[in-house]
Amino acid sequence: MKYIALFIFLISVLSSCTTHLDTSNKEATIIHQSPKLVVGIVVDQMRYDYLTRFYDQYGEGGFKRMIRAGYNCKNTHFNYVPTYTGPGHASIFTGTTPQSHGIIANYWYDKEVQKKVYCASDTTVQAIGTTSVLERMSPHRLQTTTIADQNRLHTQMQGKSIGIALKDRGAILPVGHTANAAYWFRGKEEGKWISSTFYQETLPDWVQQFNADTIAESYFKVWNTLHPMASYTASGADQNNFEEGYVGKEDAMFPYDLKVLKNRNEGYDIIKHSAFGNSLTTDFAIAAIEGEQLGKDAITDVLTLSFSSTDYVGHIFGVNSKEIQDTYLRLDADLTRLFTVLDAKVGKEEYTVFLTADHGAVQVPSYLKSLKIPAGYFDIEDFETRLKAYAKQQFKVDGIIANVSNTQVFFDDQVLTKAKLDPTQVEKIIARFILTQKKVAQVYTRSAFTSGTYTEGLAALLQRGYHQKRSGDVIFALDPAHIVYNSEISTITAASKGSTHGSGLSYDTHVPLLFMGKGIQKGSTLQKTAITDIAPTIAALLGIVAPNGTAGTILPFVLE
């Protein structure tokens, strides 16, 4: 009996050790087994409630598949201001905010060259695939690495990185500095996918073939609702006074004959400004998966994909429009198409996808006003005129205010020096004047942001969006649901129609965040998460170093 008991004891110990070793081996395998392809999707101007408002009409293979088969972070917010396209795409993929990555807006005033610059413009490169000199673009203004860069570094530049979007900045900023290529759509009279010599000297054969097939031209057709209009109960009336529509059509109501309207709406650009722009983007992304053989080996590739048409449609028609609802139902179908191709080409359990947005959007302020909700418009041109006059009267010097843009005021440092004015005192006086203006909610100075740290509220959001070398000298924020419409935001939408974004309020900061695929748990959370958490979480999934400016934290509950 004594020997039998000893034998049983030894067997149990060995069994315990074997189980422990198996578990360790299993964990080691999971830690080091990366997906063949990571697809990072950004839906431009997607509010979180577009998931819930339109949920019943979504199919099973797009948004619903991601929610049911993956992980849904229901309380994800941008943790900085301004909530624009350029900063949004940069922050998602770098894991940090404009304070570090330097993309403080789409356009901003550069004190050094004393003019506005564009976040992706680069005069040292040439455009390829187009005759336009306006398409010279690169990520050279982005000051940190992206998750795509880190994957390239980790794989000794063997893992491919491809960026795709209708907008150049939506293609370029996410995929970073080391990308094999970024492709964006040149509309106007051309209708082609293009790139720049920052990446390569000529377009690959598959891109040239895609352009030659005139797929873009096939979308010059009638845009009507995907489903019967009567079923679109999650949006307002089709006929209303809050939508801009297209030039050449008297009312902003379905249907829209894009072929008829194209000549008065900048040619191929009308496709970008319709739901069909997302379908064209999906067509090109599918061609890229095949043409670049993404996800075909064990070395992880990265595809960054931004759907821009949701933003264009939102600006023109607004958050509550039938057009925005139809755009999302069609995008859902395009996601289903994309995932079906990924299942077949890469393998259903071999890729990982995340989907989020670069910002949300406000309800059309004139619509809110009609419902007696505080809202309105800020006349930025009139404000700048009065501010310059006040500065001249107060300091007896002309030219102190060099620029007003992105709700920031830039001083001319040379004028201040010549007049022997103390910048700190000028800041205070100018800030006090701005705070007296109607529709201005809060004002902060350069000195305030460089001498201390804010940890909560709007001040913290503004400070995280503040870059010491690139941002202005005085920063102000408007009252809730009050917006500025000018050429920086939209060249199409009239002042009192359509929607926009840019604030630190929940309608602009609250966006979807969905993960699905290899290495991802099934579930959801209401825990507050930040947009900057995405890149370090993907880095943890891949077992690589996070982007070099990362300020976010890993979301462990998302990962298996």
Q: What are the structural domain ranges in the chain?
A: 379-438+440-478
The type of residue at 196 is S
Annotated catalytic residue 124: no
The per-residue pLDDT for range 470-503, each reduced to its tens digit, is: 999 999 999 999 999 654 444 434 568 999 999 9
The per-residue pLDDT for range 72-120, each reduced to its tens digit, is: 999 999 999 999 999 999 999 999 999 999 999 999 999 999 999 999 9
The per-residue pLDDT for range 164-210, each reduced to its tens digit, is: 999 999 999 999 999 999 999 999 999 999 999 999 999 999 999 99
Indicate the average pLDDT of the chain. 93
Locus of tokens 């507050």? 528
- The neighbour count for residue 113, using CB atoms within 10 Å, is 8
Q: How far apart are CA 93 and CA 138, in angstroms?
A: 16
- The burial class, CB within 10 Å (0-12 / 13-18 / 19+), for 495 is middle
* DSSP string for 481-521: TEE--STTT-SSS-TTSS----SSSHHHHEE-EEEEETTB-
Q: How far apart are CA 259 and CA 505, in angstroms?
A: 38
- The neighbour count for residue 126, using CB atoms within 10 Å, is 14
The per-residue pLDDT for range 125-162, each reduced to its tens digit, is: 999 999 999 999 999 999 999 999 999 999 999 999 99
Q: How far apart are CA 88 and CA 524, in angstroms?
A: 23
- 235: its two tokens: 């949006």
Residues 83, 85, 304, 493: which is the catalytic one?
Answer: 85
Q: How far apart are CA 461 and CA 200, in angstroms?
A: 38
DSSP symbol at 362: P
Locus of tokens 């890729």? 351
pTM of the predicted model as reported, rounded to 2 decimal places: 0.93
Max Cα distance, the chain (Å): 106
Question: How many Cα atoms occupy the beta-carbon half-sphere of 230 within 13 Å?
Answer: 0
- 141: its two tokens: 């203004």
DSSP symbol at 346: I
CATH 3.30.1360.150 for domain 379-438+440-478: yes
